Amino acid sequence: MSKKPQRLISVLIAVLVLGSMLLSACGTATTTAPSIEGKLAVGIVLPTKDEPRWVQDETRFKDALKAAGYDVEILFSQGSSAKEKENVEALITKGIKVLIICPQDGDAAAAAVEEARKAGVKVISYDRLITSTDAVDYYVTFDSVAVGAKQGQYLVDHASGKGLPLYLYAGAASDNNAFLFFEGAWSVLQPKIADGTFVIKNSSEAVALQDKATLTRDEMSKIIGQITTNWDFNTAKNLAESNLTVATAADKGEVFILAPNDGTARAIADAFAADKDVTKYWVTGQDAEKASVQYIIDGKQSMTVFKDVRTLVKDAITMAVSLLKGETVATTGSYDNKKIQVPAKQSEVIAVDASNVKSALIDSGYYSASDFTGLK
């Protein structure tokens, strides 16, 4: 064979090889960089299905993300940090790009989100702050200190005279929000404790610190250790009943009760209502759960703090979509999670009692009037 045909064949082979390489490269680009829309882009982990609040959140997340064009999977941890970690790992395996997670235990959730960070997943801590790790990118929350302050202010606004019995209750010691709620409430209640308007009846630790306007986290931890409900209805009811059992008739009469959320508020209210020596009680709450709104209408619960979950869900989704699109994420502040300052987006809260149930919860479209009886 002459040299010319050999050269021609060599050139043809080189062209074919080069073409094959180019086609292969183009194929890799297509398969490794698919459009996120229509794929499982967002994974969400919520604490439990046993509280109405989180079931409402599930529905709102699904509807809003579907409207935004993204698929989502939502898993519940059912009060278990181990299950929470399993849920996060399952979502990572399915290829999520953004994780929205409300931790059962702020410190315990650190291990789960560190796995997400290793997988290149962006982490948004939702409602409750994940603590003791730098693997949290953003935090979406209500102003938790303001929640506690509104609860405390409600009790102050309805107090008249001196020596009024005050019963303190708190959320779970494992939840950073419990500390923020208590911090806000204490900031308002403490001056009225110091001047004798209120007398603390169920926490020796709080009594020992009643002259301190600002408490350290360790000091709050000592108080919360005595008054924690663990966000559990039965725990709250049992604790309230235990407090009432050891209290004298003089420790009762018209009483003022700081209850951390609606579920515990109803439990505590039931316990105080059943005590013959309690002539009247004022009890706080938060979350505007339907059952508690009905309690407020019926005069069984004094108030709740309305945190419009529609806004919180919207903020979380807006943040997630910005991350998916590589856009700048809007924040309004930051929170110390014991490791880093986590950039945060805060939402406002509203105090609701019988006087503004309709305007705050019905007229806003959050609930329907038909959801309740006796509404005026």
User: What is the tens place of the pLDDT at every residue in 110-140?
Assistant: 999 999 999 999 999 999 999 999 999 999 9
Same domain, 151 and 205: yes
Amino acid found at 330: A
Tell me the CATH number at 61.
Answer: 3.40.50.2300
State whether 60 and 176 are in the same domain: no
With a cut of 60, say whether residue 227 has pLDDT above it.
yes
Residue at 66 is within a domain: yes
CB 80 within 8 A of CB 137: no
Across residues 133-161, what is the average pLDDT? 97
Both 160 and 275 in a single domain?
yes
User: Are 123 and 179 in a shared domain?
Assistant: no
| 120 and 201 fall within a common domain | no
pLDDT at residue 39, rounded to an integer: 61
User: Is the same domain home to 268 and 230?
Assistant: yes
Number of domains in the chain: 2
pLDDT the model gives residue 40: 80
Q: Are residues 170 and 219 in the same domain?
A: yes
Whether residue 376 lies inside any domain: the answer is no
Q: Are residues 185 and 298 in the same domain?
A: yes
Global pTM reads 0.79
- Asked if the structure places residue 193 within a domain, the reply is yes
Full domain range(s) for residue 222 = 144-307+352-371
Q: What is the pLDDT of residues 46-85, one digit of tens each?
A: 999 988 889 989 999 999 888 888 889 999 999 899 999 9
Residues 243 and 261 in one domain: yes
| pLDDT, averaged across the chain | 90
Is 124 inside any structural domain? yes
Q: Are residues 87 and 189 in the same domain?
A: no
Do the domain assignments include residue 47?
A: yes
According to the model, what pLDDT value does residue 1 have?
Answer: 47
